[in-house]
Amino acid sequence: MKHTYPAPEDIGIRVPPTLRQDRFGRGFQHALRGGQLDHVEFFRLSFRLGFRAAKLFLREERRRRSILDLPMRRRWRLKTLW
């Protein structure tokens, strides 16, 4: 099943002229697809800011649609003393 993701310009995000448009867009799309920041090239400024903008967009979109973000399940380690 293919999904169509919006571009930053489609939702009203303007890319500052000091950033690279193509790299910002790649970071934005990477975040919308659920990617992680795990490669060195993902830590460049334009990519990171695009990634962050997409994560903020997703948070607002979930709130608008009333989708709950459940808290992470925690693992507990208990040690007993004898």
pLDDT at 1: 58
Does a structural domain hold residue 70? no
Domain of 39 in residue numbering reads as: 21-64
Q: Is the pLDDT of residue 62 over 90?
A: no
Q: Is the pLDDT of residue 2 over 70?
A: yes
Q: Residue 74: count other Cβ atoms within 10 Å of its Cβ.
A: 5
Does a structural domain hold residue 11? no
Does a structural domain hold residue 32? yes
Q: Is the pLDDT of residue 38 over 80?
A: yes
Residue, of 59 and 69, whose pLDDT is higher: 59
Domain count, the chain: 1
Share of the chain above pLDDT 70, in %: 90
Q: What is the pTM of this model?
A: 0.75
| String of DSSP letters for 16-68 | PTTS-HHHHHHHHHHHHTT----SGGGGSHHHHHHHHHHHHHHHHHHHHTT--
Does a structural domain hold residue 73? no
